A and B are shown apart, each in its own frame.
Chain A
Amino acid sequence: MGIELSTDSAQVLVAFAAYLVGVALLGYFSHRYLTRGAFVNEYFLGNRGLGPWVLALTVAATAISGGTFMGFPSLIYTNGWIMALWIASYMVGPLTGMTLMGKRLNQVSRICGSVTVPDVLRDRFNSPTLGITASLLILACLMVNLVGQFKAGGTVMREALRLPPLRADVAATEVDDKNKELVVTFRQDDGTELTQRTALPAATAVLLPNKTEIRETDNGPDHLLFHFQIDKTEAVKRVAFPPQQLRLPFSGQALDKGYLLGLIIFAITVIGYTTYGGFWAVTLTDVLEGLVMLAGVITMAVLAVRAVPAIEVERSVPDRGAGQAATRKVELHGLAAATEHLRRQDPQLVYGPGPGDYLPLGMAFSFFLMWSLMSPGQPSGMVRLMSFKDSASARRATMLMCFYFAITYLCLLAIFICARAIFPRDYLHEAGSEARGEPDQIMPAMARHLAHPLVAGLLLAAPYAAIMSTVAAFLLMISSSLVRDLYQRVINPNVSERTLKISSYVITALVGVGVMIGALNPPRFLQYVIVFTGSAMGCAFLVPMLLTLYWKRATRSGILAGMLGGFFAVVSLYVLGWTDSRCQRALKEYEQATAVAAARGEAPPPAPVTARWLDDTLGWIPGWGQERHDPFNPIFAAGVDTLVWGMLASLILGVGVSMLGRPDAEQVRRFFPELES
């Protein structure tokens, strides 16, 4: 079956294709570097040759992920100005990301000839256990994370492709009051039925019968518009016709054809250039991706600010003649108009903690720590710090990153504050719901609304670029963990250069293909696992690495305890959160069932013994029993995020266990030289 594309999509695809050709060319040219010297050093670390521009853009592009361009815009659109506080700690991001440990990490990795983060830990303490543990933690966390990134890549590409939907008729429409969803059943020509479930625009929304409209494009019916009554206003809900399906040959599973095609294009490009070009391909494409992102947000910010409808306000101005204040009508434009629109829509959009108590004090504190300290705690960022050529490069890169982060994040804030002013609640109702917010659609919607399809294609390439750079960095990290940390350093230390070379290419490609298969039908709770792995890795590596680099009293047992302590503290809070959700649900259901049985004069149902026992035993934990919107949310003990507890656990265990032992005197002399005068 051929692929039908709309004209609009074709133009978007031309822009996308131009970008992808650039990426492929950089991958091709990077391959030439690989013949210069030692293969492993060149393939995984670029032979420590990064200058300031490449360094700044590669660190920034790796830190900025798909979430920055998909999830973050959606959060700004839903929650308004409080998101400025949510993201504020990027003001110190360049300092913490680059200068906190950059120079020293680079020096230590040179002293021991380390190529990867586990290498550094292993060589600094002369401990294979430490190296293997670090490799396994990186492998486990990054593999899961990569599945999510691949999914995001496939989703963006599907948006660019925009395949026409399935040809089908509407068979039935009903409102699921329990789940607050609109359920539309479509019937294909062969009689197969498909169901689309969409959140109601608001909890109080009432469906207006006989007002449903079918909207068509050149390719036939595209989506339905349902009309709802919300209090006294009318809202429209958009329900797309189901996407074209494709059945997998062996499992028979039906998949969205657009997503599958998008995923394959994404996977081929990113696996191709990473495998072929190694570290240099990843960093050089990071430069291109970083520039595409920067150009994208600046262009979009200018267009968005200009697109905000002007609004009139009354301002008091001093009347010089009468000596009293008088009111005068003033017309606001741009960002000022957007802020005024938001204030009139809902005052919670211009004040903290935001709609639905989005960012209470404890979480504002947690997010400040998250963005400023979790980025330097990621092993993918640490590898970049091991690869710059001199300290002047690091200094200049820090300066460049200051401008890069400030422009990117402040522009993103401005764009999606304007988006809320341009598409008020209508878009929230049309595409998402007031209760659940807006799914990751506002970014593509704004790109298409603001610009010509060709420019929109380039704007859409920005999130694609962000996802690509993160994926490439992670792919190389996983490959280096398997090839260098586990195979070369544990299984076969005398492996030949040729075998290393072949295994590096093969492993990188295989990991990519494996992750792509995992992303074909990822589990619903994947996004939580991704958030979890980011926090867990940061908590496992930040404090232990700082102690490794700066504290001569640190011991291998202390660092191991700090690493595992940070990791398992985060895991425990997630597991406890999930357990708590299940317990509370079981207890609530029991209470309801008991009440119903009593009303009917029947015997009460059997009590949930395990849930009750767990609730009695674990009820003392701060945050236990708190209502959470999602069963996969962790326990926010004392109102702060898991990363605060993870870092505390890592610090206490890292320092405490180190104090119980003695460091290796020879290693201390090697890594902590004293000044003679």
Chain B
Amino acid sequence: MSDKEAAARLLRNARREMLLILGVTALALVWTVGYCFLHGYQHAPDSWVVQSGLASTRSAEDLQQIAGLPDWVFVGIVLPWLMCTAFSIGVCLGLKDDDLGKEAASTQGAAHGH
């Protein structure tokens, strides 16, 4: 493979990875912030989220624990965190290595001791 082709391949792969990562970040944001807001926040009974049935009012007595954590922390944060970690490792194992190219002579000769 020529240097130019290797560079073009890296650009294509890096672009795809960037879009994938931005997508995963958006998904994690919606899950984490969305779930925690709906299930981990104390809402007033007349708030729109309660009125629309998306969330319930939560009192101190309602708190459930999963593995010592409040239920909303486990489902809204720890679970997606574990999934993101698994996904990151999967992505890293699945990614192909690209040739980063050769180091060009620095723009300034002095930097290389000329």
Residue pair B60, A396 in contact (C-beta under 8 Å): no
| Nearest B residue to A41, CB-CB | B111
Residue pair A343, B85 in contact (C-beta under 8 Å): no
* A contacts with B, residue count (CB < 8 A): 81
Residue pair B73, A497 in contact (C-beta under 8 Å): no
B59 within 8 A of A: yes
Enumerate B36-58 residues with CB–CB distance to A below 8 Å: 36-37, 40-42, 58
| Nearest B residue to A334, CB-CB | B68
Q: Is the interface of A mostly helix, strand, loop or mixed?
A: helix
What range describes how many residues of B lie at the interface?
Answer: 35 or more
Q: Mark B89-114, 1 if CB is under 8 A from A, else 0.
A: 10111010111111111111111110
Residue pair B41, A352 in contact (C-beta under 8 Å): yes
A495 within 8 A of B: yes
What is the minimal beta-carbon distance from B14 to any residue of chain A, in angstroms?
Answer: 4
Residues in B neighbouring A100, C-beta threshold 8 A:
17-18, 21-22
Q: Interface stretch among A110-118, A205-213, A510-518, A650-658?
A: A110-118
What is the minimal beta-carbon distance from B63 to any residue of chain A, in angstroms?
Answer: 5
Residue pair A495, B5 in contact (C-beta under 8 Å): no
Residue pair B101, A38 in contact (C-beta under 8 Å): no
Q: Interface stretch among A24-32, A88-96, A159-167, A469-477?
A: A88-96
**Which residue from A339, A392, A406, A675 sits with its C-beta under 8 Å from B8?**
A675
**Which residue from B60, B76, B103 sits with its C-beta under 8 Å from A113?**
B103
Of A119, A352, A410, most buried by chain B (CB within 10 Å of CB) is A352
Residues in B neighbouring A37, C-beta threshold 8 A:
113
Q: Interface stretch among A10-18, A250-258, A271-279, A364-372?
A: A364-372
What is the minimal beta-carbon distance from A412 to any residue of chain B, in angstroms?
Answer: 14
- Cα A496 to Cα B112 with chains together (Å): 10
- Cα A495 to Cα B93 with chains together (Å): 45
Residues in A neighbouring B107, C-beta threshold 8 A:
112-114, 119, 123, 489
- Cα A335 to Cα B68 with chains together (Å): 5
Residue pair B29, A368 in contact (C-beta under 8 Å): yes
Q: Is the interface of B mostly helix, strand, loop or mixed?
A: helix
Total cross-chain contacts (CB, 8 A): 230
A40 within 8 A of B: yes
Residue pair B101, A99 in contact (C-beta under 8 Å): no
**Which residue from B5, B24, B97, B110 sits with its C-beta under 8 Å from A390?**
B97
Residue pair A398, B92 in contact (C-beta under 8 Å): yes
Residue pair B21, A493 in contact (C-beta under 8 Å): no
Residues in A neighbouring B29, C-beta threshold 8 A:
89, 365, 368-369, 372
Residues in A neighbouring B25, C-beta threshold 8 A:
89, 92, 95-96, 372-373
Residue pair A339, B69 in contact (C-beta under 8 Å): yes
Residues in A neighbouring B108, C-beta threshold 8 A:
488-489, 493
Residue pair A399, B92 in contact (C-beta under 8 Å): yes
Residue pair A353, B11 in contact (C-beta under 8 Å): no
Residues in B neighbouring A364, C-beta threshold 8 A:
33, 36-37
| Nearest A residue to B94, CB-CB | A395
A103 within 8 A of B: yes
Residues in A neighbouring B14, C-beta threshold 8 A:
101, 103-104, 107, 549-550
A676 within 8 A of B: yes
| Nearest B residue to A492, CB-CB | B110
A294 within 8 A of B: no
Residues in A neighbouring B67, C-beta threshold 8 A:
335
| Nearest A residue to B76, CB-CB | A85
Residue pair B69, A113 in contact (C-beta under 8 Å): no
CB contact under 8 A between A92 and B68, given known A115-B111, A396-B92, A673-B4: no
Residue pair A361, B113 in contact (C-beta under 8 Å): no
Residue pair B84, A91 in contact (C-beta under 8 Å): yes
| Nearest A residue to B22, CB-CB | A100
Residue pair B85, A406 in contact (C-beta under 8 Å): yes
A500 within 8 A of B: yes
- Cα A495 to Cα B81 with chains together (Å): 50
- Cα A351 to Cα B92 with chains together (Å): 35
10 interchain residue pairs of minimum CB distance: A335-B68, A347-B60, A352-B41, A336-B68, A113-B106, A104-B14, A91-B81, A91-B84, A113-B104, A673-B8
Apart from A99-B17, A361-B37, list 5 A-B contacts with CB within 8 A: A41-B111, A92-B25, A95-B25, A111-B101, A339-B69
A interface residues (Cβ-Cβ under 8 A, vs B)? 37-41, 48, 81-82, 84-85, 88-89, 91-92, 94-96, 99-101, 103-104, 106-107, 110-115, 119, 123, 334-336, 338-340, 343-344, 347-348, 350-353, 361, 364-365, 368-369, 372-373, 390-392, 395-396, 398-399, 402-403, 406, 410, 484, 488-489, 493-497, 500, 546, 549-550, 672-676
17 contacts between A and B (CB under 8 A): A88-B80, A92-B24, A94-B88, A95-B91, A110-B102, A112-B104, A119-B107, A339-B68, A350-B70, A351-B58, A352-B36, A368-B32, A391-B100, A395-B95, A395-B97, A675-B12, A676-B8
